[in-house]
Structure 1
Amino acid sequence: MSGRITTHVLDLAGGKPVVGITIELWFLGEGAESNSHNNNYVNQYEGAPKLLGTFETSHDGRVDQPLLEGAAVMPGMYELVFGAGDYFRRAAHLSAITDNIFDLIPIRFRIGDAGSHYHVPLLVAPGGYSTYRGS
């Protein structure tokens, strides 16, 4: 099985998939390591994060193809950045809620086995969010 990264986004407040949210996938590098003193990530190899792609979710809250797959998936640290603020500003069912404090939601994760499937979903609401490693 070739490696791949996938995601989907669900709106907990509306009880439905999130349509049209923008997602960026970044590669932070093989040498990205956690600094235990201030919990920042430093990249020892690349110098700067690399944008691998920008995507938008479809009618079912998913991207139509894997965000990354095959030989392009390498071990290292990655980050997904979800444009939640834009979604909530245009969501009709949430027009009364004006205090969405999460504009951009970054999720960092490490790929150790480049041949595995990494599914990183986002469950989002104006006042919070959650994620997990899906299947």
Structure 2
Amino acid sequence: MAGWLSTHVLDTAMGRPAEGVTIWLYRVSGNSHKKIAEAVTNADGRTDTPILPEAKFTTGTYELVFFAGDYLRATGQAGADPLFLDQVPLRFGMNEDAHYHVPLLLSPYGYSTYRGS
């Protein structure tokens, strides 16, 4: 089985999936970042396809960047500029050919993540 990466965003302040969040995926090597994918969350807060499908998967260090500020502005949760949370980067490693799921639980003043299933 080849590995793959999925993600989703939940708006914990509003108690619903976060639709319309732009997400960029980077491959990280030392101080170098290479953007390899971009997606936008759907009505279920998920990307329509894996952000890193099996055909493009390799183990290594990656970074998801969630454009939370744009979403918070669009939903009226942003508050005054500068925002407390704007772009949220999550750096993580994938060291085996397996399914990795890295979600973001988001509110205007905090977030968390975990390795999901």
Q: Deviations over 1:61-102 (max 9, x none)?
A: 00010011224111110000000000001104x37x436401
Q: Deviations over 1:26-76 (max 9, x none)?
A: 0003xxxxxxxxxxxxx1xxx621101111000000001001122411111
2:90 aligned residue: 107
Instruction: Letter of the 1:130 partner, please give it.
Output: S
Measured in 2, the distance between the counterparts of 1:83 and 1:48 equals 20
Within the candidate set 68, 71, 85, 2:69 is matched to 85
Instruction: Letter of the 1:4 partner, please give it.
Output: W
CA contact (8 A) 1:2 1:69 kept: no
TM-score (norm 1): 0.81
CA contact (8 A) 1:76 1:111 kept: yes
Measured in 1, the distance between the counterparts of 2:12 and 2:55 equals 34
Structure 1 segment 23-102 matched on structure 2, within 5 A: 23-29=23-29, 43=30, 48-92=32-76, 94=77, 97-98=79-80, 100-102=83-85
Unpaired runs of at least 5, structure 1? 30-42
Please state whether the residue corresponding to 1:89 is helix, strand or coil.
helix
Aligned residues: 116
RMSD across aligned C-alpha pairs, in angstroms?
1.5
1:122 aligned residue: 104
Please say which structure displays the higher CA radius of gyration: 1
Please state whether the residue corresponding to 1:49 is helix, strand or coil.
strand
Q: Percent identity?
A: 47
| Runs of 4+ with >3 A deviation | 97-100
Instruction: Letter of the 2:65 partner, please give it.
Output: V
CA contact (8 A) 1:7 1:121 kept: yes
1:12 aligned residue: 12
Unpaired runs of at least 5, structure 2? none
Select the structure that is richer in strand.
2
